[in-house]
Amino acid sequence: MTTTADPTKADPAKGEPATAARSAEEELPPPPADEEDIPVPPGAPRALLRSLLGPHRARITVAMVVILVQQAALQSGPLLVAVAMDRAIPALREHDSGPLVAVIAAYLFCALLSPVLQWAFIKISARVNQDILLELRGRIFRHAQRLSLDFHERYTSGRIISRATSDIDALRELLSEGLQELLTVFLSVCYISVLLLVLDWRLGLVSLVSAVPLALIARSFRSRSRRVYRRSRTSAASLIVRFTETMNGIRPVQAFRREKANDAAFALVNRQSATATADGLLEIARYVGLSRATANLWVTGVVLFGAYLVVDDTLEVGALTAFVLYLRRLYDPIDQLAMFLNSYQSAAAALEKIAGLLAHEPTVAEPAEPKELPQAASGRITVKGREVSFERTRFAYPTGREVLAPFDLLIPAGQTVAVVGATGAGKSTLAKLLARFYDPSDGRIRLDGVDLRELATPELRRGVVMVTQESFLFSGTVAENIAIGRPGATREEVEQAARDIGAYGFIAELPDGFDTDVRKRGGRISAGQRQLVAFARALLADPAVLILDEATSSLDVPGEQAVQRAMRTVLAGRTAVIIAHRLSTVEIADRVLVMDQGRIVEDGSPQELIDGAGRFAALHRAWRDSLV
């Protein structure tokens, strides 16, 4: 009788202390992360922005100079008109066309200069913007790839997608519209402020004091809208999560008539997003209305003040007119500033989220000083494999729940080890530790004497490769999917790997053979076929240690047998760890480990164990019976 799956009936004869019972009968993953679980270190968004802008300092400076000159050229129009009126026309009356020609020439020069500079500015700033976006996209992508599996298991994929898509869009908005706006606003404000002070310093000072209430309004807007925009980014992310989940599971959605329920669930997040969006727009409306009112109030005040000055004969009427007209232009950019603040707030919220993601350090870190694996000793030329040793290795979740109790295990180079046991016995965890998907909580794992943690990823993956039961295909051709095992492999090598594993036949029969795009017809490559592709990928990788985690679960009997035949030759000389529910796999193993509740409870050659009276013998009998 086999009782391994049920701790309540666990065989007490093995004398396992009750401590292992905590590890429960099934491995349960740690709880998922909340959005708030990814803390944003203070100052991280700002530091991120700095690091993004830093390399472009020179070009940004050039862009600013260009726009400065362009604004000067643009603003000189009215000035030249005034010169024409005051000097050129009287001169023309005296039949002196010189001044007019000069003024018109200057005007046309500005008319030509300004668009050329505008053109240059757009080109330069577009380049800066696009380079920044490219860099940031790349950083998010690379970082998400670098983050450890435990992170990916907790952080919804939709959220990472939204970081790299909609959050980036928010930043793009700021960069493409906002910065230019800010620059022109800033320049025209400076320019006009100086003009105002020159025209009349008393009125100028009074006017410039309006900066205080305007700044206060802007500050209140920023603090009020910060929350709104954060909410907006979060709701955008949950929208994406819902959306991708539904589209990726469209078959069960339709088969189980989830459409209406999904509509309702989606409407909920959709509405949340709409509310956040509208709240943001209302904040802007409020900001624009308030600042406009303040500005106009100021204009009235200045007119009144100026009027008294005029009455006191300390100000010319003409000067007051010019002053007030310019003053109006000082406040013109309020609307533009609102647009800028809008994209700025939205981008700031996005940047915060992105910075949070980027600041999250992978728990499985790259070594600071990577070591290399020793060259194969001359004595084992024929042995591709490497020795694996687990030393007092223990694994527990951060919650403290122990999955693997401390254990020692030595797998000599070239040995094929089958690991069997019930679901949740810790087999997969053992495999994931060896593949360094996780790091052990205590103890270490060495490959030919080198701690896995001291190997850089490329070196580690030359050493250890794992094939999982999950057989995801990436868009691209079948050949490309196999070549993931070894980029740069020739077509012959790819085809040979497929042939070795018995996948050549079905691939050749696909519409375009190895060049069939799996996305376009990807739905048609069955789970079993996908597992064969995954195997071919692993063969191509040609690692010293191969881990197979339930890698044959969807294969039919002939497929599995073909794989096993192939394995016999492929695994020769390699170190292999095979995890399988089906004991057929065990036949090709040199050694079998039986696991139960996080411990290795039996260890021996298949024949020894079958002949014995332990769990494996029972499992084996049950499996025999399940065959024809």
433, two tokens: 């530790």
Query: Is residue 445 helix, strand or coil?
Result: strand
- CB-based contact 554:528 (threshold 8 Å): yes
Q: Dihedral (C-alpha) 276, 278, 283, 285: value to the nearest 10 degrees?
A: 170
Residue closer to another protein, measured from CB, 304 or 410: 304
Residue closer to another protein, measured from CB, 245 or 391: 245
Smallest distance from the beta carbon of 43 to another protein, in angstroms? Answer: 27
287, two tokens: 């900001």
Residue closer to another protein, measured from CB, 51 or 145: 145
Residue closer to another protein, measured from CB, 41 or 511: 511
Smallest distance from the beta carbon of 563 to another protein, in angstroms? Answer: 9
Smallest distance from the beta carbon of 48 to another protein, in angstroms? Answer: 18
Which residues, including other chains, have CB under 8 Å from residue 435's CB and lie 6 or more apart?
464, 465, 466, 547
Residue closer to another protein, measured from CB, 391 or 515: 515
473, two tokens: 């295909």
| Alpha-carbon 225 to chain mean position | 25
Give the C-alpha separation, 134 to 131, whole Å: 5
Name the amino acid, one letter, at 229. Answer: Y
Smallest distance from the beta carbon of 291 to another protein, in angstroms? Answer: 8
Smallest distance from the beta carbon of 316 to another protein, in angstroms? Answer: 10
Smallest distance from the beta carbon of 325 to another protein, in angstroms? Answer: 6
Residue closer to another protein, measured from CB, 220 or 561: 561
188, two tokens: 């025209």
- CB-based contact 149:432 (threshold 8 Å): yes
Give the C-alpha separation, 570 to 541, whole Å: 12
Beta strands in 269-401 (DSSP E): 388-396
Residue closer to another protein, measured from CB, 249 or 443: 249
- CB-based contact 269:239 (threshold 8 Å): yes
Beta strands in 89-198 (DSSP E): none
DSSP one-letter code for 576: E
109, two tokens: 């020069």
Smallest distance from the beta carbon of 415 to another protein, in angstroms? Answer: 21
Residue closer to another protein, measured from CB, 194 or 282: 282
242, two tokens: 């819902």
- CB-based contact 13:598 (threshold 8 Å): no
Smallest distance from the beta carbon of 50 to another protein, in angstroms? Answer: 22
Residue closer to another protein, measured from CB, 298 or 390: 298
Number of residues assigned to the chain: 628
Residue closer to another protein, measured from CB, 370 or 406: 370
Smallest distance from the beta carbon of 456 to another protein, in angstroms? Answer: 9
Smallest distance from the beta carbon of 619 to another protein, in angstroms? Answer: 6
Which residues, including other chains, have CB under 8 Å from residue 555's CB and lie 6 or more apart?
528, 531, 532, 563
Burial of 8 (0-12, 13-18, 19+ CB in 10 A): exposed
